[in-house]
Every structure is written in C-alpha cells, then in structure tokens.
C-alpha cells in the first residue's frame, strides 16, 4: 500500500535507486518538424471523421423524411447533384438540407487543404524516403504512410519488432498465475492512432497478391530491396489471412493479427533503409 507521502527528498532517493539498478530508460523526444507533421496528420484524420459524421447526419435526415437515393453509390458527383436539386416541401426542411450540405462542403475543403499541407511538409521531412518506400507497399498511400511514420518516428529505438508490437498494443493481454495461463484480447496500450491506421491498411491484404497499375506507379524509383519486401509482405500476409480464415477465426481477429505482422515489416523496412 502507498504511504501517501510525497516529498522531493523521497523522489530523489527513488530516482537514485532506479538509476543505480539501470531501470531508467531513455525517452525519445521527437523533433519539432516531426511533431508538426503528426499534428497535421491528426487534423486531417479529424476532418475526415467530421466529414463522415456530416454525411451521416444528412443521410439520416433524408431517410427520416422518406427520401431514398435510387442510384448505385452515395456521395458520387451524381449523388451530390441529386442532393442539390432535391426540392423539399417545407421551407424549414429546405434550411436544414442547405445547412447539412454546407457542413459537408466545409469538411471536404478542410480535408483537401490539410492533405495539400501534408504533401508540402513531406518534401522537407527527413522521413520522406521511408514514407515513399512504405507507399510502394499494398494498402499504403500518402496519407496512411505519413500518418504511421509521424506517429512512430524512428523505429531503430526498438531492438526487435516484438517491442514495436507491444508499443502499438497489438499483443494479447495475459493473466497467468501458477499452472493457469489465460490470454485475452490485445492490450490496446500505446499509440492508438498508429494502431488504427495499421488495422485499416491490413484490410487490403485479404485479397490475393497483385501489383496493380497504381501500385506500380508508386514503386517507380524505389530500390529493388523495397519492391522485394513489398511483394514478400503481400504473400506472407495474404497467406496468413487464408490460414486463419480456414481455422475458423473471426474476421476482426484475423485483421488485427495481420496488423501485428504488418508492423514487423515496417520495422524491417525502416531498418534496412536507415
């Protein structure tokens, strides 16, 4: 139990004991530019979330009033044209529709401005080669690659990829005592932004390995070792997905397992290029 007494003298003694035992570890402080890039990436994610909410509010409003879009896909140019030409009978409802449309347009502009700012920051960023290399992998475009690298920073501080997996909270939680061992869901400790983005990118590896035209374009100018690693990543993760699927594992568990292995590939890529 704690003694509920805290003084500078006691703190100094505890710090001295930790230092003597070698329990004090170095903490990486990111450079100012790294923090700036991270803030812009997070702001872009927030803007994208706000856009999704604004679209959902408008969809709910129209559905509540009996308006259903008969087209194939929502939020396409055709769907937006349908919304702008929609004539509601009540003047108050017209105001609501216009307000929701204005909110969507505002969010779209925010996302575009922040995405453009990310492009500008990438040009002078020390991690640009790593971001470009990550974009040569399936499932990663500029936003996803910059978000992950800005959140994780220099991965050379991790001696083994398992340390990175634990840092991301992608390892199983455990409650073991005596002869009884119990493992549960992932710990969800560490950086939630990077973990979320890895899970999103892992969705792409459900499909069979393939180098598409878009991926080929992103791989232009990349060294051979990056292309080989990207291809090995596709084969490994898709094979892992198929095996876990055949074992009857749930889809979400499989995707998280892929995200865990994906973090190891990112660790390997940065260590090879650094």
pLDDT band (50, 70, 90) for residue 2:
low
Q: Whole-prediction pTM value?
A: 0.87
Residue with tokens 């259903």: 68
pLDDT, tens digit, 9 for 90 and up, residues 254-264: 999 999 999 99
pLDDT at site 177:
87
DSSP notation for 137-167: STT--HHHHHHHHHHH--GGG-SSHHHHHHH
Report the number of secondary-structure helices (H) and strands (E) in the chain.
Answer: 11, 2
Q: What is the rounded distance in angstroms from the CA atom of residue 184 to the CA atom of residue 180? A: 13
CB 54 within 8 A of CB 103: yes
Task: Give every CB contact of residue 261 below 8 A, 6+ residues apart in sequence.
Answer: 236, 237, 240
pLDDT, tens digit, 9 for 90 and up, residues 115-129: 999 999 999 999 999
pLDDT, tens digit, 9 for 90 and up, residues 35-74: 999 999 999 999 999 999 999 999 999 999 999 999 899 9
Bridge partner residues of 186 (DSSP): 172
pLDDT, tens digit, 9 for 90 and up, residues 141-162: 999 999 999 999 999 999 999 9
- Token representation of residue 8: 């500078």
């Amino acid at each position: 139990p704690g003694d509920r007494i805290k003084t500078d003298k006691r703190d100094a003694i505890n710090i001295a004991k930790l230092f003597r035992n070698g329990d004090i570890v170095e903490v990486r402080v990111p450079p100012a530019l790294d923090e700036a890039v991270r803030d812009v990436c997070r702001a872009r994610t927030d803007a994208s979330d706000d856009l999704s909410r604004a679209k959902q509010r408008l969809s709910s409003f129209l559905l509540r009033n009996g308006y259903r879009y008969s087209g194939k896909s929502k939020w396409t140019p055709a769907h937006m044209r349908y919304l702008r030409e929609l004539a509601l009978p009540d003047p108050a409802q017209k105001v609501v529709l216009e307000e929701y449309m204005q909110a969507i347009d505002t969010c779209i502009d925010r996302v575009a401005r922040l995405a453009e700012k990310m492009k500008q920051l990438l040009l002078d960023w020390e991690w640009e080669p790593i971001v470009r290399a990550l974009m040569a992998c399936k499932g990663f475009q500029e936003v996803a690659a910059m978000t992950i690298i800005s959140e994780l920073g220099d991965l050379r501080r991790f001696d083994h990829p398992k340390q990175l997996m634990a840092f991301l909270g992608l390892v199983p939680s455990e409650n073991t005592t005596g002869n009884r061992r119990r493992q549960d869901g992932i710990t969800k400790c560490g950086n939630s932004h990077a973990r979320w983005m890895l899970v999103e990118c892992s969705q792409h590896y459900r499909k069979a390995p393939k180098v598409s035209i878009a991926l080929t374009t992103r791989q232009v100018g990349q060294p051979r070792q990056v292309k080989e690693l990207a291809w090995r990543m596709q084969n490994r993760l898709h094979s892992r997905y198929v095996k876990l699927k055949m074992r009857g594992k749930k889809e979400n568990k499989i995707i998280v397992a892929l995200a865990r292995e994906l973090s190891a590939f990112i660790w390997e890529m940065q260590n090879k290029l650094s």
